[in-house]
Amino acid sequence: MSYAGPEFESPQPRRPRRRPLTLALAVLVPGALLGWLLYEGVGGAADSGGGTTVAVGKVTSTAPPTTSSTTADDRKPPLPLKGKVVVIDPGHNLTNFRHTAEINRKVDIGTNRKECDTTGTSTNSGYAEAKFTLDVAHRLRTLLEKQGATVKLTQDADRPYGPCVDERARIGNRAKADAVVSIHADGAGAGQRGYHVIMPGRVHKGIADTRRIVAPSATLGKRIAADFGRATGTKPANYVGNGTGMVTRTDLGGLNLSTVPKVFIECGNMRDSKDAALLTSAAWRQKAAQGISEGIVSFLHG
């Protein structure tokens, strides 16, 4: 038997009540979002030093400013001869012939005594060796300075005669030169053609001592001989050096008294008509300067 109990009405579903928190969030969230966007756009941009700029409804980006202390000069490759000192010794002097007593005076070169200087030679048409050597020296100086070298000349037509061979050596020594090249042209017989480089031999006598410079001078001479031949298209001398273009001597004061690497170069024979045609050509003299320059650069870079 069952008991139903008193009758009740069926329960009605409860209508949800709108809570105040929900309403508050609905109002506050959009406002908070708008405020955050404005903060990030204004405050964030200020903090970043110009990075990202944000506007309501639109975001734009700008690249951050860059600063650099590097200049165009800093980006240039270093000059190969920067910090190097080269002394160029243009042989003889155009006005030596007016000072015969002075240039004939004997000076000590260690192994013996020799004339202070000579007048040099010339082509059959009268183009003087001293004029040739100074012209090539000027061209060579320009090329070396463009490479960054400090260049000094033993004379620049700025004195009445000389300097004497012992003073020429001292100029290179005082400059603490990394390389010294004495420029000449020979006065051999007709038919004797070509260039040759003269290097110091081993001398240890009197005021001369070349022992420390023989080896580096030989390297300098080989580099110049090779590059000179290539640049000028000429061959080593056919009358000295056994076709090598290399000669060693111990009777030249300019070499004996040097304490820094030094060589002489006889660029050709002024008394041979074919060589003379080259030596009197400005275009060829530029090639000669280029060849000597390349040899010096090669030597100084090891």
> Which residues have C-beta within 8 Å of that of residue 73, sequence separation ≥ 6?
none
What is the model's pLDDT at position 122? Answer: 98
Q: Could you tell me the pTM of the whole model? A: 0.76
Cα 270–chain centre separation: 32
What is the model's pLDDT at position 76? Answer: 75
> Which residues have C-beta within 8 Å of that of residue 189, sequence separation ≥ 6?
271, 272
Q: How confident is the model at residue 205 (pLDDT cuts 50, 70, 90)?
A: very high
**Residue ranges per domain, the chain?**
23-61, 80-300
Cα 207–chain centre separation: 35
State both tokens at 256: 């004996």
Q: Among 22-26, 66-70, 273-277, which is the least confidently predicted range?
A: 22-26
Q: Among 13-17, 247-251, 253-257, 272-276, which is the least confidently predicted range?
A: 13-17
**What does the pLDDT look like over 47-84, one tens digit per residue?**
444 443 434 444 444 555 555 555 555 567 789 999 99
Q: What is the percentage of the chain residues whose pLDDT exceeds 90? A: 74
If you average pLDDT over every residue of the chain, what do you get?
A: 85
Q: Which of 102, 129, 145, 266 is catalytic?
A: 266
Phi, psi of 273 (to 5 degrees): -65, -35
Say which residue, 116 or 49, is predicted with more confidence: 116
3-state DSSP of 278-300: HHCCHHHHHHHHHHHHHHHHHHH
CA separation for the pair 85, 56 (Å, rounded): 67
State both tokens at 29: 């969230």
What is the model's pLDDT at position 55? Answer: 42
Average pLDDT for residues 162-190, to the nearest whole number? 98
Does residue 12 register a pLDDT over 70? no
- Residue 129 designated active-site: no
What is the model's pLDDT at position 66? Answer: 52
- Quick count: other Cβ atoms within 10 Å of Cβ 191? 13
Q: Which residue carries 């051999």 as its tokens?
A: 188
The CATH number of the domain covering residues in 80-300: 3.40.630.40
State both tokens at 7: 């009758």
State both tokens at 121: 């030679």
CA separation for the pair 103, 93 (Å, rounded): 10
Does residue 127 register a pLDDT over 80? yes
CA separation for the pair 209, 276 (Å, rounded): 36
